Chain A
Amino acid sequence: MSVTAPVAPPNTPNYNDPQIVAEQIKTKYPDAVESSSAQGIVVQSDQLREVARYLHDELAFDYLNNVTSVDWQDRFEVVYNLTSLERGGAPITLKVNAARENPSVPSLVPVFRGADFQEREVYDLMGIRFEGHPNLRRILLWDGFEGYPLRKDYKEPYYEEEKKPFGSRWDKGHHVIAEDRNPWHDNVQYPSNFDAVAYKPPRDQIQVIDAAQAAAMRLRTDKIVLNFGPQHPSTHGVLRLRVTLEGETVRGVEPIVGYLHRNHDKIGERNTFVGNMPYTDRLDYFTSMANNLAYALTVEKLLGIKPPERAEYIRVIMAELTRWQNHAVALGFIYNDLGAFYTPLIYAMEERELILDLFEATAGSRMMCNYMRFGGVARDVTDDFIAKCKYLVNERLPRRTDELEAYMVGNEIFHSRAKNIGVLPRDLAINYSTAGPVLRASGVKYDIRRAEPYSIYDRFDFEIPTGTTGDLYDRFIVRVAEMRESLKILKQALDQFPAGEIMTGKKNYQVRVPKGEAYGRGENPKGELGFYVVSDGTANPYRYHVRGPSFINLTALNDMCVGYKIADMIVILGSLDIVMGEVDR
């Protein structure tokens, strides 16, 4: 399978317009397209894979941003967002309908390997089968779970008919909590014949290599399966890795996730639009400001509003401060994984504290900021904030960036351990839908801030740092370079900082979002954070889906680790810079 994207001929039509793309598809596959509109192209389920391959090979849509699904009660709809990294611009939307009974659509894994985890997630939560998927199992929920929680007819424990905003819970003079209204056992479903005490999870088998392999190896040693996590000091949270080892060499890694799963999507459907804002903080808790921004952008797309100048600048300043501190801490953690005794991490934390002070001064909270609103930000910044921020950006942070680079990139042991380790070739990086520094370290010059400029990023002068080989070393220095670029943006933003309003329209706690759907995204420090929001005109989103960069970057872990030592695997995992809050959602 070829994964290289051919360069489009110079006078190509505008492929960012779904109508034109639909026309192109029709020339090749006349009856594949059911309908097409600005909302997306609906294709026939049985020709989906051909269409996808055509888009990938011929029209250079080489990057699968997002896979999700919507339950329209009479049918399911699987939604794909595709981009061309070469051309940039907004992703086009591809849709497939599936029947309500035994829904199934062809899997896109043979074309886009990045669909692997995402299709498993759709299968897990919505119950749509993907024919041809190599490993279609539940991913976020446990293997014995019954039911598909994102379906509209699924009733979770403590299910309530009414949605937020609730009526008064004190109306009869007594506060009745949800647990008392709905005893949980009314809704809990167990698999048939389930006995909680006797239940044994399917046990991993110890693999023994066959005779031919043993002969090839001459010196025969056992191939063993080792568990890393969920309780392990170096898995960055409750992640479990099922590692096949041959001596010290990794032969396979399977990430097993879901220990922190809370069904963020379902919670989002029961919340109001604004009420979701604090929940996005908890996705990647290192970068709550950037999460807020991406979500606000998505809903603003539906609302069709733009925040005032001053708010845009505040947003950019917050997002870039977030990027700096996230990368600094990520570098520290990579060094921890390399075996350093916390010193680089604590040096990074020192500056991070100062940045969090600024967040606290503005948003009232250090990590869970809940700061952005639709059409602006929650609170205005003070002159004191600007002065402190200028001091940080012009003096402390550049100094600390240089210092960290000198200490960490200059280290000989680091060079010997990071160069040519965990190589992710360019083609694979694209095909696996990796995002952010991981993608750029593999040599892809793609940054949403440049490719599809949101907010006011088109006004600033900054570079997109890229690596060459896509090894651990590149992923490290790309982050260092991005810290520098963030400071560059911050300097410009602080110099141009305007006065004015911080909110479009009046401040209100409830927004009415018109009917429609939107895929919005932002370049988070960890990669492309996307939100797919469907509104049916009520107070709650009809469908709310998060494309977590940590989760999708994890798809590539196996290919990055195979053939390297187990000690390298830990560092490679560290270099992906995952946060379990976002992986498990």
Chain B
Amino acid sequence: MTLDPIVITLIEAVVKTIVVIVALLTAFAYLTLVERYVIAKIQSRIGPNRVGAIGGIALLQPIADAIKMIFKEDFWPSQADKIIYTIAPGIAVGTALLAWAVMPLHPSTEIFGYRVDFFIADVNIGVLYLLAIGSLGVYGIVLGGWGSNNKYSMLGALRSTAQMISYEVSLGLALVGVLMISGSLSLVTIVEKQSFIWNVVWQPLGFIIYFIAAVAEVNRLPFDLPEAETELVAGYQTEYSSLKFALFYMAEYINMITVSAIAATMFLGGYQGPFGILPGVHWLVLKIMFFIFVMMWMRGTLPRFRYDQLMRFGWQVLLPLALANIFITALVMLVVGA
């Protein structure tokens, strides 16, 4: 029996999507645990060690948290815009997950004589797709803030939007250098081209700009202004409870994984590891873990910027640097290439 290639593609896509989503949700759940544990160690505390503890680490804590979240009261504030208020967390988590459609996870392999690609879609404009989906993520936040009809939510959402779009410019420009070296917008091609040497060697400045912008993009310390507890309580999440709150939280962590994965893919050779040891996906996970650990580390140690300092830094420091990086790359490539 032969199947229509389209049907095969469809079945393949469904399976891969479900695997990726389940993997991401599990990763999110355990990242919360890892974060609590890492921060506890930084602060010389013990950290979570009760629920299903093995070796002093509460391995079942994320599951307990999930169950708690599901059975919490879910309410709609009386002045809220009910529809917008409800769909906002869905948009946030949806866009966060969608970014993973183009992420290459592992080299393509033959399994039972059937070629399996370890990415959901290899579109020829992968980087553009990532940027586009990343921009959509703002909608979840701004709609959540607007729908709540709460002053803290509103201000948090506005700040968040302004911050994210400001740093997105630098984020996008920082990647241009990599594209010039790779000559492709497909993430798979970009990874394959780094089999000899990682892009970070040619693009150190671009890498630093990207990482700073990425931290600002996912609202982590020292750029966590949108949820600045000391001023805005919980920012756009103030009025949310139950699973709706969990979805925002989920979106935030998945975005962390995503920007780390993009950093690994664009600058650190993606699933390519040295010496061919360990299967590819392990390398990608290791690199992602490295970035996430750095973000947690920063959270444990740094105070935050003031809003005007943050905006000024984005527009007056990061943006000119990113532009300069492009032109330096272009000049070096032309002079050395000639």
Tell me, yes or no, whether A and B come into direct contact in the complex with CB atoms closer than 8 A. Answer: yes
A residues in contact (CB < 8 Å) with B: 226, 232-234, 248, 335-343, 346-347, 350, 411, 413-414, 416-417, 565-568, 570
Determine the chain A residues whose CB is within 8 A of the CB of B299 once the complex forms: 341
Q: Does B239 contact A (CB under 8 A)?
A: no
> Which stretch, B103-111, B221-229, B327-335, touches the partner chain A?
B221-229
Closest partner residue, chain B, to A248 (CB atom): B307
Q: Of A336, A337, A346, A417, which is within 8 A of B309 by CB?
A: A417
Q: Return B293 CB to nearest CB of chain A, in Å.
A: 15
Determine the chain B residues whose CB is within 8 A of the CB of A346 once the complex forms: 43-45
Determine the chain A residues whose CB is within 8 A of the CB of B39 once the complex forms: 341, 343
Known A341-B221, A342-B43, A346-B44; judge A567-B303 contact (CB<8 A).
Answer: no
Interchain residue pairs A-B with the least CB separation, the first 10: A339-B304, A338-B303, A234-B230, A340-B303, A346-B43, A570-B230, A339-B303, A567-B306, A343-B43, A233-B229
Q: Which has the most chain A C-beta neighbours within 10 Å: B43, B299, B303?
A: B303
Q: Return A437 CB to nearest CB of chain B, in Å.
A: 20
Contact check, B308 vs A232: say whether CB atoms are below 8 A apart. Answer: no
Contact check, A411 vs B231: say whether CB atoms are below 8 A apart. Answer: no
Q: Return B142 CB to nearest CB of chain A, in Å.
A: 18
Known A339-B222, A342-B43, A343-B42; judge A565-B306 contact (CB<8 A).
Answer: yes
Known A226-B151, A346-B45; judge A341-B300 contact (CB<8 A).
Answer: yes
Q: Does B9 contact A (CB under 8 A)?
A: no
Contact check, A343 vs B300: say whether CB atoms are below 8 A apart. Answer: yes
Contact check, A335 vs B303: say whether CB atoms are below 8 A apart. Answer: yes
Q: Does B302 contact A (CB under 8 A)?
A: yes
Determine the chain A residues whose CB is within 8 A of the CB of B26 once the complex forms: none
Contact check, A339 vs B308: say whether CB atoms are below 8 A apart. Answer: no
Q: Which has the most chain B C-beta neighbours within 10 Å: A342, A565, A566, A567?
A: A567
Contact check, B231 vs A413: say whether CB atoms are below 8 A apart. Answer: no
Contact check, A417 vs B305: say whether CB atoms are below 8 A apart. Answer: yes
B residues in contact (CB < 8 Å) with A: 39, 42-45, 151, 221-222, 224, 228-231, 233, 299-309
Closest partner residue, chain A, to B306 (CB atom): A567
Closest partner residue, chain A, to B300 (CB atom): A343
Determine the chain A residues whose CB is within 8 A of the CB of B302 once the complex forms: 340, 411, 413
Known A339-B221, A346-B45; judge A411-B303 contact (CB<8 A).
Answer: yes
- Bound CA–CA A336/B39 (angstroms): 15
- Bound CA–CA A555/B307 (angstroms): 27
Q: Return A493 CB to nearest CB of chain B, in Å.
A: 30
Q: Return A538 CB to nearest CB of chain B, in Å.
A: 49
- Bound CA–CA A336/B231 (angstroms): 11
User: Known pairs A248-B307, A347-B44. 14 more at Cβ < 8 A?
Assistant: A226-B151, A233-B229, A233-B230, A234-B231, A335-B303, A339-B222, A339-B229, A340-B221, A340-B302, A346-B43, A411-B302, A413-B222, A565-B308, A570-B230
Contact check, B228 vs A339: say whether CB atoms are below 8 A apart. Answer: yes
- Bound CA–CA A226/B39 (angstroms): 33
Contact check, A337 vs B230: say whether CB atoms are below 8 A apart. Answer: yes
Contact check, B44 vs A338: say whether CB atoms are below 8 A apart. Answer: no
Closest partner residue, chain A, to B151 (CB atom): A226
Q: Which has the most chain A C-beta neighbours within 10 Å: B43, B151, B233, B307?
A: B43
- Bound CA–CA A339/B229 (angstroms): 8
Q: Return A333 CB to nearest CB of chain B, in Å.
A: 10
Q: Return B237 CB to nearest CB of chain A, in Å.
A: 13
Determine the chain B residues whose CB is within 8 A of the CB of A350 once the complex forms: 44
- Bound CA–CA A341/B36 (angstroms): 12
Q: Return B228 CB to nearest CB of chain A, in Å.
A: 6
Q: Return B317 CB to nearest CB of chain A, in Å.
A: 12
Q: Which has the most chain A C-beta neighbours within 10 Å: B45, B228, B231?
A: B231
Known A341-B39, A341-B221, A342-B43; judge A413-B305 contact (CB<8 A).
Answer: yes
Q: Of A340, A341, A347, A568, which is within 8 A of B306 by CB?
A: A568
Determine the chain B residues whose CB is within 8 A of the CB of A226 once the complex forms: 151
Q: Return B257 CB to nearest CB of chain A, in Å.
A: 20
Q: Of B45, B151, B221, B309, which is within 8 A of A416 by CB?
A: B309
Q: Return A182 CB to nearest CB of chain B, in Å.
A: 42
Closest partner residue, chain A, to B308 (CB atom): A565
Q: Of A336, A413, A565, which is within 8 A of B230 by CB?
A: A336
Q: Return A568 CB to nearest CB of chain B, in Å.
A: 7
Q: Of A234, A339, A342, which is within 8 A of B224 by CB?
A: A339
Determine the chain B residues whose CB is within 8 A of the CB of A335 once the complex forms: 303
Contact check, A570 vs B231: say whether CB atoms are below 8 A apart. Answer: yes
Closest partner residue, chain B, to A407 (CB atom): B301
- Bound CA–CA A568/B230 (angstroms): 10
Determine the chain B residues whose CB is within 8 A of the CB of A340 once the complex forms: 221, 301-304
- Bound CA–CA A350/B302 (angstroms): 19
Q: Return B73 CB to nearest CB of chain A, in Å.
A: 19
Q: Return A434 CB to nearest CB of chain B, in Å.
A: 23
**Pairs across A and B, CB under 8 Å, 29 listed:** A233-B233, A234-B229, A234-B230, A234-B231, A336-B230, A338-B230, A338-B303, A339-B221, A339-B229, A339-B303, A340-B221, A340-B302, A341-B299, A341-B300, A342-B43, A343-B300, A346-B44, A346-B45, A347-B43, A411-B302, A413-B302, A413-B305, A414-B303, A416-B309, A417-B305, A565-B308, A567-B228, A567-B230, A567-B307
Q: Return B59 CB to nearest CB of chain A, in Å.
A: 24
Q: Return B307 CB to nearest CB of chain A, in Å.
A: 6
Closest partner residue, chain A, to B299 (CB atom): A341
Q: Return B82 CB to nearest CB of chain A, in Å.
A: 25
Contact check, A343 vs B301: say whether CB atoms are below 8 A apart. Answer: yes
Closest partner residue, chain B, to A234 (CB atom): B230
Q: Return A85 CB to nearest CB of chain B, in Å.
A: 33
Determine the chain A residues whose CB is within 8 A of the CB of B300 once the complex forms: 341, 343
- Bound CA–CA A347/B44 (angstroms): 8
Q: Which has the most chain A C-beta neighbours within 10 Å: B42, B45, B230, B305?
A: B230
Q: Return B105 CB to nearest CB of chain A, in Å.
A: 32
Contact check, A413 vs B304: say whether CB atoms are below 8 A apart. Answer: yes
Determine the chain A residues whose CB is within 8 A of the CB of B309 once the complex forms: 416-417
Determine the chain B residues whose CB is within 8 A of the CB of A566 once the complex forms: 231
Determine the chain A residues whose CB is within 8 A of the CB of B222 once the complex forms: 339, 413
- Bound CA–CA A232/B231 (angstroms): 9
- Bound CA–CA A350/B309 (angstroms): 32
Determine the chain A residues whose CB is within 8 A of the CB of B307 once the complex forms: 248, 565, 567
Determine the chain B residues whose CB is within 8 A of the CB of A413 once the complex forms: 222, 302-305
Determine the chain A residues whose CB is within 8 A of the CB of B303 once the complex forms: 335, 338-340, 411, 413-414, 417
Determine the chain B residues whose CB is within 8 A of the CB of A565 once the complex forms: 306-308
Q: Of B42, B151, B301, B304, which is within 8 A of A338 by CB?
A: B304
Contact check, B221 vs A248: say whether CB atoms are below 8 A apart. Answer: no
Closest partner residue, chain B, to A334 (CB atom): B303
Q: Which has the most chain B C-beta neighbours within 10 Å: A232, A234, A341, A350?
A: A341
Q: Return B299 CB to nearest CB of chain A, in Å.
A: 5
Q: Return A15 CB to nearest CB of chain B, in Å.
A: 45
- Bound CA–CA A335/B43 (angstroms): 14
Determine the chain A residues whose CB is within 8 A of the CB of B224 once the complex forms: 339
Q: Return A94 CB to nearest CB of chain B, in Å.
A: 41
Q: Return A245 CB to nearest CB of chain B, in Å.
A: 10
Determine the chain A residues whose CB is within 8 A of the CB of B151 once the complex forms: 226
Determine the chain A residues whose CB is within 8 A of the CB of B308 once the complex forms: 248, 565
Contact check, A232 vs B305: say whether CB atoms are below 8 A apart. Answer: no
- Bound CA–CA A226/B152 (angstroms): 10
